[in-house]
């Protein structure tokens, strides 16, 4: 009786000298086409097809710890070109005294020209100093006037989808969102 764990093929992938890792992935065709992908995404924005803008926001207490002093916006940077934000999976929850967003959503088409360290920084993957809090914030562009800002936190690991020239991020809502004019909602609960 033959051993079922033996592979009947004589030549194994490890023996095929044509197979090798990419020694210079930074200069690969996929990396070079990242700029073209960003140019196409900018075209979506210019045509008005990307109404939702995405920002990385850091807020902090002036006293250095939660609840001490005034909560202010310390950092704000927009993701460009505008990524694709699909808010369809979100649901509104209606507890007593208001409503809140519930669920998750996926952000796709984040520029492939960002490095993993840049993505981690913009998504607040590294710990922030005491009294500072990071989030992602979505806003609709000016076509609807000043609208609600939605705040999100990253759930899971952002991943580079090289075949589609993008970074992909899964997020869930974080409450409370900032006011329409951008001022933080005080006091902020963890």
Model confidence at 145: pLDDT above 90: no
Residue 150 lies in a domain: no
Please report which confidence band the pLDDT of residue 165 belongs to, taking 50, 70 and 90 as the band edges: very high
pLDDT of 83: 96
Give the model's confidence band at 77: pLDDT under 50 very low, under 70 low, under 90 confident, else very high.
very high
In a domain, 162, yes or no: yes
Q: Is there a domain that residue 86 lies in?
A: yes
54 φ, ψ to 5°? -125, 135
DSSP secondary structure, the chain, as one string: ---TTS---SS-GGG-TT----S-GGGSHHHHTHHHHHHHHHHHHHHT---EEEEEEEEEETTSSTTSS-EEEEEEEE-SSPPEEE-TT-EEE--TTS-EEES-EEEEEE-TTS-HHHHHHHTT-SPPPTTEEEEEEEEE-GGG-S---EEEEE-S--EEEGGGTEEEEEEEE-SSPPPTTSPPPSSPP-
Q: Does residue 36 form part of some domain?
A: yes
CB 41 within 8 A of CB 82: yes
Q: What is the pTM of this model?
A: 0.76
Let me know if residue 65 belongs to a domain. yes
Q: Is residue 51 part of a domain?
A: yes
Number of domains in the chain: 1
pLDDT digits (tens, 9 = 90+) for 93-122: 555 555 445 566 789 999 999 998 898 888
Q: Is the pLDDT of residue 147 over 80?
A: no
The verdict on residue 95 lying in a domain is yes
Q: Provide the domain limits for residue 115.
A: 27-144+155-173
Residue 38 is assigned to a structural domain of this protein: yes
């Amino acid at each position: 009786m033959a051993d079922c764990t033996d592979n009947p093929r004589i030549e194994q992938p490890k023996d095929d000298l044509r197979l090798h890792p990419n020694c210079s992935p930074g200069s690969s065709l996929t990396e070079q086409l990242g700029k073209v992908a960003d140019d196409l995404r900018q075209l979506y924005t210019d045509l008005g097809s990307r109404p939702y803008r995405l920002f990385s926001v850091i807020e902090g207490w002036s006293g250095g710890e939660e609840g001490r002093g005034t909560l202010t916006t310390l950092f704000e940077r927009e993701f460009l070109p505008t990524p694709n934000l699909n808010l369809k999976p979100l649901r509104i929850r209606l507890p007593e005294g208001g409503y809140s967003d519930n669920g998750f959503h996926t952000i796709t088409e984040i520029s492939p020209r960002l490095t993993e360290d840049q993505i981690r920084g913009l998504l607040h993957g590294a710990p922030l100093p005491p009294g500072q809090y990071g989030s992602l914030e979505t806003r609709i562009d000016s076509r609807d006037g000043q609208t609600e800002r939605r705040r999100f936190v990253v759930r899971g690991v952002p991943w580079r989808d090289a075949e589609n020239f993008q970074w992909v991020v899964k997020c869930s809502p974080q409450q409370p969102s900032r006011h329409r004019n951008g001022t933080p909602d005080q006091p902020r609960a963890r």
